[in-house]
Amino acid sequence: SQTIHQWPATLVQPVGSPLSLECTVEGTSNPNLYWYRQAAGRGLQLLFYSVGIGQISSEVPQNLSASRPQDRQFILSSKKLLLSDSGFYLCAWWREGRGNEQFFGPGTRLTVL
Amino acid sequence: AQKITQTQPGMFVQEKEAVTLDCTYDTSDPSYGLFWYKQPSSGEMIFLIYQGSYDQQNATEGRYSLNFQKARKSANLVISASQLGDSAMYFCAMSPDRGSTLGRLYFGRGTQLTVWP
């Protein structure tokens, strides 16, 4: 069966500090991978998606970047965090032919102070 | 651009009653998918139901059914026989990527459902 991991689960960082959130998927190969952000009381906003190693597409201009160094690893980064980067970050995967729905990880709750 | 609208910030329903959560969408894509996810207070996203834009019948999954009205661009979720454990945030989402391999999802702002005994 497939599982998706995210770490850390929670993170408190000062403004201006760097960020690295990691997502890994087990039990599947060649998945599409996605990063979403959920601000407090809001829906999920698609930030980045990747259809393969080294292939990153950005949905919205922002202070964040993403990388996919391995097939089942997706990393969300920032060089200098802003207050507005606070939120709940969710990683998800989908693969054509494996059903219609995306599968989500447990999320990382980021607070920037 | 895709736009998903959920006009009900909060809904209340008594246990064992049915409830309808509204969702409208706007897209110019001819082929798309519609989804509903449940998010309990723990934050996990739980897939509930899917409807393809060319599906002839409304989707059903146990107590969940999707009332799909393509001409009105609406995809309301109906939960029958509500249970206390149904209390959660519910999100409607759309993927414009049917027929492609991108699989992107765009979400509404959600409806907080509270089931009371």
Kindly indicate the confidence band of residue A101, based on its pLDDT and cuts at 50, 70 and 90: confident
Cβ proximity of B77 and B23 under 8 Å: yes
Kindly indicate the confidence band of residue B116, based on its pLDDT and cuts at 50, 70 and 90: very high
Q: Is residue B98 over pLDDT 70?
A: no
pLDDT tens-digit map of A41-66: 788 999 999 999 999 999 987 889 99
Cβ proximity of A62 and A76 under 8 Å: no
- Mean pLDDT within A68-73: 97
- Mean pLDDT within A72-87: 96
- Mean pLDDT within B61-89: 97
Round to whole Å and give the CA distance between B86 and A93. Answer: 25
pLDDT tens-digit map of A21-33: 999 999 999 999 9
The contact set of B with A (CB < 8 A) is 4, 6, 33, 35, 43-45, 47, 50, 52, 91, 93, 95, 101-110
Q: Which residues are bridge partners to B68 per DSSP?
A: B75
At which residue do the structure tokens 């920032």 appear? A78
Average pLDDT, chain B: 93
- Which of chain B's residues have a Cβ under 8 Å away from the Cβ of A88? 43
Interface probe for B, chosen from A100, A103, A109 (most Cβ of B below 10 Å), is A100
Round to whole Å and give the CA distance between A20 and B49. Answer: 33
* Percent of chain A with pLDDT strictly greater than 70: 99
* pLDDT recorded at residue B100: 67
Nearest residue on chain B to A30, judged by CA atoms?
B101
* Closest by CA position to A88, among listed A24, A8, A1, A2: A8
